[in-house]
Amino acid sequence: MKTVVHTVGQEARQTKGWWGANRWLVLRRVSQFSILALFLAGPWFGWWLVKGNLNYSLTLNTVPLADPLVMLQSLLARHVPERNAIIGVSLVLLFYMLVGGRSFCAWVCPVNIVTDCASAMRRKLDIRGGGDMPRQTRYWILALILVLAASTGSIVWELVNPVSLLPRGLLFGMGAGWLLIAAIFLFDLFVMKRAWCSHLCPVGAFYSTLGKWSLVRVAAIKREACNDCLDCYAVCPEQQVIRMPLKGAAKGSSPVILSPNCTNCGRCIDVCSKDVFAFGTRFAPKPSASPGANLPPQ
């Protein structure tokens, strides 16, 4: 007898079409590549819409944007920030604290493209199991880089931070930086599922902390329609955040994914054939009742 192999997102593609099953993924890639292109357009083609990089940039010679984690390390290292850097950090802080939450990871960060590729290939090659470590590790690494900045008087982390190293490397040459990016890719692919973004990266940990109370959230608005296909768990980089909003109706839990670890990537919305998930705000619609609570393992 012929066995039917279920591939992740297959049902969604059949019911919603290719665009419906990949919309948020495509929009994220457009966002990530556009931001990279804006940084590269000046040095490569002389189109200076944006000057700078992910650490500090000036758009149209007017609007500064600056990385708050770099600023925090800089302050701990006892550097005095310039006026434009303070304005730039304030704008970025306001956006992620009030609106975007951890969306930097899914919509801006270039390393996310690399780790998403590793994750997709892992599913394709059906690589299962592998290493494990607490997801809290990233918060310890975050604390460590802050202590390092304070104790050494310099922003040591930026020497090896792959998030700023990747766009900088595309401009000035990656050198040994490719080894670091390749190591992240291979580690995620062969050793441990979503090791870098969901367990180790202090930048993601920082944005999670920053966006704890942010407005934009994904919610399991039609959770009663869930057929337990588990596709959303397969694609979510932080699958632990889905469980209670999706299956906690019996316990009266909110369908809104309030965990600060959700990256607002919207991939769960894409791959669900039942359109269970949707973007909304943190102010929940009334919890819907759900038959049974067939909770998948954490």
SS3 40: helix
Work out whether 145 is an interface residue with ligand SF4 (CB under 6 A).
no
Contact between 226 and ligand SF4 per CB under 6 A: yes
Rounded to the nearest whole angstrom, what is the least distance from the CB of residue 206 to ligand SF4 in the complex? 16
260 near ligand SF4, rule: CB under 6 A: no
Of 33-41, 181-189, 192-200, 229-237, the segment contacting ligand SF4 by CB under 6 A is 229-237
**Residue 73 contacts ligand SF4 per CB under 6 A:** no
- Angle formed at CA 55 by CA 53 and CA 59, multiple of 5 degrees: 50
Distances in whole angstroms, Cα of residue 163 to Cα of each of 34, 67, 167, 233 = 16, 11, 8, 25
Shortest reach from residue 220's CB to ligand SF4, in Å? 6
- Applying CB under 6 A, which part among 82-90, 151-159, 195-203, 235-243 lies near ligand SF4? 235-243
For residue 79, give the amino acid letter: H
Among 41, 99, 215, 230, binds ligand SF4 (CB under 6 A): 230
Report residue 120 as tokens.
């997709």
Burial class for 112, CB neighbours closer than 10 Å (0-12, 13-18, 19+)? buried
Contact 56, 85 (CB under 8 A): yes
Residue 242 found at the interface with ligand SF4 (CB under 6 A) = yes
Return the HEC string of 226-265: CCCCCHHHHHCCCHHHCHHHHHCHHHCCCCECCCCCCCCC
Residue whose C-alpha is closest to residue 150's, from 74, 77, 79 = 77
Cβ atoms < 10 Å from Cβ of 170: 17
**Selected range binding ligand SF4 among 90-98, 111-119, 239-247, 284-292, rule: CB under 6 A:** 239-247
Binding to ligand SF4 in span 165-224, by CB under 6 A: 218
Does residue 82 interact with ligand SF4 by CB under 6 A? no
Residue 274 binds ligand SF4 (CB under 6 A) = yes
- Which listed range, 160-168, 170-178, 188-196, 259-267, lies at the site for ligand SF4 (CB under 6 A)? 259-267
From the list 61, 227, 281, 288, which residue makes contact with ligand SF4 (rule: CB under 6 A)?
A: 227
DSSP state of 159: G
**Residues in contact with ligand SF4 by the rule CB under 6 A:** 218, 226-232, 235-238, 241-242, 246, 257, 262-268, 271-272, 274, 276
